[in-house]
């Protein structure tokens, strides 16, 4: 079966109709302009000051996109004079191809990304050599991702600390099954791939040798796990929560357990759009920040879940989304219920500073990790190259300008592009002022 037919066969039903239009690589996304609900009419006074009043952004229906959807539905972008058109992307590769096309070619101006996709699109590393300079504008969300394991390995009792819960599991699996344990992610050489690799390697399991890693688009997750396509899946909620709720498997580890308040996905837009529309870029950022602040409030989680659950957006049952947004998880093979909003998706405040601000120390980590696994040879071969690429793509200056114009309190405006030292579940320290020391400290690498 070709890719598209296989995709349709797996997705089926209501989702298929919205994905068909966008499913084919390189095809333009469905231009679903979003006529917002009442009260979200464009602020024409604000619009008059902008270079353009529209931007087309891609999104993938996982919690990372919530600030974009809420920004549209609650009128935060419209308030600042911008009509944000969101189009659902069938896969990360479709999003990449659509941003290369740009709106002029029937594609998108930017949207939601796993890292280092924007940096690698800028360098032409994942676009057949075509360099499309991108601007990383903000982090969309922290945490809210996880590693789900299938019922077939429930006896394996997989958890964040495999040395404790499941010693020798992967070797025993290979011996028993006559093949390696299969773990999937939604796009190679980016966040989800890095989380599962970090988790395994941090537990002494070599992801290049002891398991088989493969790419499966997020909407195929549930079916793929039911069918035995893979034993584990690293992705954003609502998928890990759905796997647990539908009793297809269990949540082995949350990414918050692997790295507390870790960087997750980002908003990035084509640099030519930003250069041409600097005021509209600031309007976009202001709307996004206000949407993130709104999403952060406990009293808004249920309403956010209702908005996201609609067929137009995620087409996922409201309670699944509400629980995920509130940090209510069922963790581990035994299914222990745990509620801890601090370990759930974070959109604005945290004990490590403002989530939305694109700390260069965090966006750099994805390039350092790319070096660790030799993901992009010829593009990222040294720390110096990683830092140069990162400095070019991250536009924290625009975030700071938007924050000042919004009148944010000083404590919410970071004073440094570095968040300082980061500590992982296995005790490893990433000091952004000395990434080489971090690299040298890692025992398992590519």
Q: Give me the residues that bind Ca ion (CB under 5 A), please.
A: 145, 191, 236
At closest approach, how far in Å is the CB of 80 from Ca ion?
26
Other C-beta atoms closer than 10 Å to the C-beta of 78 total: 24
At closest approach, how far in Å is the CB of 275 from Ca ion?
28
Alpha helices in 166-300 (DSSP H): 169-177, 191-202, 221-227, 239-245, 255-258, 271-276, 278-296
Question: Is residue 373 a contact partner of residue 446, using CB atoms and an 8 Å limit?
Answer: yes
Decide whether 119 or 191 has the Cβ nearer to Ca ion: 191
Other C-beta atoms closer than 10 Å to the C-beta of 37 total: 12
Decide whether 142 or 150 has the Cβ nearer to Ca ion: 142
β-pair partners for 263: 142
Decide whether 279 or 352 has the Cβ nearer to Ca ion: 352
Decide whether 191 or 203 has the Cβ nearer to Ca ion: 191
Decide whether 144 or 207 has the Cβ nearer to Ca ion: 144
Burial class (CB in 10 A: 0-12, 13-18, 19+), 124: middle
At closest approach, how far in Å is the CB of 195 from Ca ion?
8
Q: In 3-state terms, what secondary structure has residue 42?
A: coil
Decide whether 62 or 379 has the Cβ nearer to Ca ion: 62
Q: In 3-state terms, what secondary structure has residue 351?
A: coil
At closest approach, how far in Å is the CB of 145 from Ca ion?
5
Decide whether 53 or 191 has the Cβ nearer to Ca ion: 191
Other C-beta atoms closer than 10 Å to the C-beta of 21 total: 16
Instruction: Show Cβ contacts of residue 102 under 8 Å, excluding neighbours closer than 6 positions.
Output: 108, 109, 132, 270, 272, 273
At closest approach, how far in Å is the CB of 346 from Ca ion?
13
Decide whether 263 or 435 has the Cβ nearer to Ca ion: 263
Question: Is residue 4 a contact partner of residue 24, using CB atoms and an 8 Å limit?
Answer: yes
At closest approach, how far in Å is the CB of 70 from Ca ion?
17
At closest approach, how far in Å is the CB of 9 from Ca ion?
25
N residues, the chain: 446
Question: Is residue 283 a contact partner of residue 277, using CB atoms and an 8 Å limit?
Answer: no
Question: Is residue 59 a contact partner of residue 34, using CB atoms and an 8 Å limit?
Answer: no
Give residue number: closest CB to Ca ion. 236
β-pair partners for 250: 149
Instruction: Show Cβ contacts of residue 217 under 8 Å, excluding neighbours closer than 6 positions.
Output: 7, 90, 91, 186
At closest approach, how far in Å is the CB of 191 from Ca ion?
5
Decide whether 166 or 254 has the Cβ nearer to Ca ion: 254
**DSSP annotation of 300:** G
At closest approach, how far in Å is the CB of 63 from Ca ion?
8
Phi and psi at 220, nearest 5°, equal: -90, 0
Q: Find out whether the peptide bond into 238 is cis, omega within 30 degrees of 0.
A: yes
């Amino acid at each position: 079966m070709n890719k598209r037919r296989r995709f349709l066969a797996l997705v089926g039903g209501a989702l298929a109709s919205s994905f068909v239009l966008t499913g084919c690589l390189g095809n333009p996304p469905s231009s679903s302009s979003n006529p917002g609900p009442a009260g979200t009419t464009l602020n024409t006074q604000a619009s008059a000051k902008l270079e353009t009043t529209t931007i087309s952004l891609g999104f993938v229906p996982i919690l990372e996109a919530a600030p974009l959807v809420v920004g549209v539905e609650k009128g935060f972008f419209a308030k600042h004079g911008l009509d944000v058109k969101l189009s659902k992307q069938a896969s990360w590769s479709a999003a990449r191809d659509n941003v290369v096309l740009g709106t002029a070619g029937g594609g998108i101006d930017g949207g939601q990304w796993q890292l280092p996709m924007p940096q690698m699109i800028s360098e032409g590393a994942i676009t057949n050599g075509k360099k499309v300079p991108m601007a990383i504008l903000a982090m969309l969300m922290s945490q809210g991702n996880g590693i789900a394991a299938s019922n077939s390995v429930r006896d394996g009792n997989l958890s964040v600390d495999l040395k404790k819960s499941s010693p020798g599991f992967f070797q025993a699996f290979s011996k028993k099954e006559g093949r390696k344990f299969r773990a999937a992610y939604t796009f190679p050489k980016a966040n989800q791939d890095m989380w599962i690799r970090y988790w395994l390697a941090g537990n002494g399991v070599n992801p290049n040798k002891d398991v088989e890693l493969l790419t499966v688009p997020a909407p195929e997750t549930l079916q793929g796990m039911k069918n035995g396509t893979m034993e584990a899946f690293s992705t954003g909620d609502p998928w890990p929560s759905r796997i647990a709720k539908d009793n297809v498997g269990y949540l082995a580890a949350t990414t918050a357990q692997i790295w507390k308040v870790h960087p997750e996905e980002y908003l990035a837009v084509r640099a030519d759009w930003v250069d041409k529309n600097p005021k509209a870029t600031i309007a976009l950022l202001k709307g996004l920040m206000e949407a993130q602040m709104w999403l952060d409030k406990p009293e808004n989680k249920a309403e956010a879940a209702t908005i996201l659950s609609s067929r137009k957006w995620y087409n996922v049952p409201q309670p699944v989304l509400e629980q995920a947004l509130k940090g209510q998880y069922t963790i581990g093979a035994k299914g222990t219920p745990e509620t801890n909003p601090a370990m759930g998706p974070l959109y604005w405040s945290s004990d490590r500073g403002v989530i939305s601000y694109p700390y260069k120390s965090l966006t750099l980590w994805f390039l350092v990790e790319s070096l660790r696994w030799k993901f992009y040879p010829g593009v990222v071969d040294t720390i110096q190259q990683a830092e140069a690429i990162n400095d070019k793509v991250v536009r924290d200056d625009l975030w700071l300008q938007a924050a000042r114009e919004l009148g944010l309190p000083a404590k919410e405006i970071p004073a440094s592009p570095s968040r300082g030292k980061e500590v992982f579940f296995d005790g490893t320290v990433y000091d952004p002022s000395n990434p080489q020391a971090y690299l040298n400290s890692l025992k398992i690498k590519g």
